[in-house]
Amino acid sequence: MAPARPIVMTTDPLITGIIAWMRNQYYQIQEAKKSQGGWEVWAQLELLFALGPSAQQMQAGVTLVREEPRIWVTNNGNNFTNEIIDFWRTFPNPNNQGTMSHWGIELKCRTARETNQTFRNRVLADFTKVSQVRGNNRNPATMYSVSMTDNQADLNDYGVWNNVYYTTITAPVQPNAGPIYLIWMQT
């Protein structure tokens, strides 16, 4: 089974934006992840504001929405089902005037009650989901599966997925409540 590969620094603007948010929100994340009901919705809302477009970008047509429906259709047996993606960003394509580019994110945050296997299964399901994107006239699209956990064991066993990376977020100042890991896969 392939483990996630450590990355100390990345130039991907989306991932660096998420890392910056995690560093700025380190202590809030430490408290939120104790929630028995999970902290994924809180993280989604916080990231929506952190990654959202500036006023100047909005004037240029950049948008970021949460829980965008009908991005793609997957074949579930004989039935086709519409999927919802956690984040969908649209921006003018600099290489082709008049068209739009996109990126999408599926986010997973490990809950306090979740086992390693349950969390890993949810992450692997997202890997499959984002790798099967059909553009629906919205291409080009770059898709990400992004996961947050505080359990180092969650960095292992990603099966056939060999393009999985992680970075470690630690406390900006004392006290250190332990590391938080950001795991991602990009298609």
Q: What is the pLDDT of residues 45-56, one digit of tens each?
A: 999 999 988 888
Which of 4-8, 10-14, 84-88, 128-132 has the weakest average pLDDT? 4-8
Which comes out higher in pLDDT, residue 6 or 77?
6
Give strand ranges (E) for the chain.
5-6, 63-76, 79-92, 100-109, 141-149, 164-169, 180-186
Q: What is the total count of domains within the chain?
A: 1
Q: Using the predicted structure, report yes or no on whether residue 2 has a pLDDT greater than 50.
A: yes
pTM, full prediction = 0.85
**What per-residue confidence (pLDDT) applies to 70?**
57
- For 58-67, the CB contacts below 8 A with 24+ separation are 60/91, 60/92, 61/90, 61/91, 61/92, 61/100, 62/89, 62/90, 62/91, 62/92, 63/89, 63/90, 63/91, 64/88, 64/89, 64/90, 65/89
Which comes out higher in pLDDT, residue 159 or 65?
65
Could you list the residue range(s) of the whole structural domain that residue 41 is in? Answer: 5-186
Which comes out higher in pLDDT, residue 163 or 30?
30
Q: What is the pLDDT of residues 127-157, one digit of tens each?
A: 888 887 655 444 567 889 999 999 999 988 7
Q: What is the pLDDT of residues 64-120, one digit of tens each?
A: 888 887 555 455 544 445 678 898 888 876 666 666 777 889 999 998 888 999 999
**What per-residue confidence (pLDDT) applies to 180?**
94
Residue 100 C-beta-side C-alpha neighbours within 13 Å: 15
